[in-house]
Amino acid sequence: MKNIWVVANWKSNKNISEALAWIDQVGPELPRKDNLKLVVCPTYIDIEEVKKAVLVGNYPLIVGSQDLSPFEDGPYTGEESARILSDVVDLAILGHSERRENFGETDAMVAEKVKRAKEFKIEPLVCLQSEETLVPEGVRLVAYEPVFAIGTGNPDTPANAAEVAEGIKGRNGQGLEVLYGGSVNSDNCKAFLQQEALNGLLIGKASLEAEEFLKIVDIASKIV
């Protein structure tokens, strides 16, 4: 049985009370299945509160971050190191195209971040903008996220996403789990989830609404 991941990337949305309202609504409804991996990646400020709420409710939800520092602890103003984050997160989205575009993140920085994450047992989920994007050593979870599809309402086709996923595995190893991300919602998610080559979804906008996210999780839980 392959793993299916449903990963919510809240980006720069939700203050603490909004984050907790989402958890209160979503948490109790989440299905428990060993190979269904449900993840939420809140803003840094929300992470600790979200983690506490998940632990108190005993919800089957992994808490992740949307980034982490390429450096160790030290004089790096504004950065969150992997060691510090590892108190509260088990996964980190790395190399998202929004970080590459807006914050000058390079493949070399992503590779450093992957190293830091792995040192502290944080699972790196590396975003690949195309089949050619570099996959740093030691990564086993990636998301194919074509830039044209992110936040545009214009997703890639499930067939093409599956083809790219095959290409990524061909270049980097069949053991990789490849998610798809870019304008996924409850209407189109099933077609992506049905692709043999894909291991789930990385969801931005549609993950912000609790009900919409739950619809997607429900569809994934019937396929897994």
- 111 or 184: CB nearest ligand PGA: 184
Segment contacting ligand PGA (CB under 6 A): 51-59, 76-84, 107-115, 182-190? 182-190
Q: Does 182 bind ligand PGA (CB under 6 A)?
A: yes
Q: Site for ligand PGA (CB under 6 A): which residue of 51, 100, 116, 205?
A: 205
List phi, psi (to 5°) of 8: -90, 120
The tokens of 127 are what? Answer: 């975003």
Say if residues 54 and 27 touch (Cβ distance below 8 Å): yes
Task: Report the phi/psi class of residue 34: left, alpha or beta, with left for phi > 0 and alpha for psi in -120 to 50.
Answer: alpha
Place of tokens 């906008």: 205
- Cα separation, 23 vs 126, in Å, equals 25
Q: Does 186 bind ligand PGA (CB under 6 A)?
A: no
Q: Does 9 bind ligand PGA (CB under 6 A)?
A: yes
> How many C-beta neighbours within 10 Å does residue 171 have?
13
Active site residue 145: yes
Catalytic residue among 98, 105, 145, 177: 145
- 64 or 81: CB nearest ligand PGA: 64
Please state, in angstroms and as integers, the Cα–Cα distance from residue 27 to each residue in 2, 34, 61, following that order.
Answer: 23, 16, 8
Q: Site for ligand PGA (CB under 6 A): which residue of 204, 213, 217, 220?
A: 204
- 11 or 116: CB nearest ligand PGA: 11
Q: Which residues are catalytic?
A: 96, 145
- Contacting positions for ligand PGA (CB under 6 A): 9, 145, 150-151, 181-184, 202-206
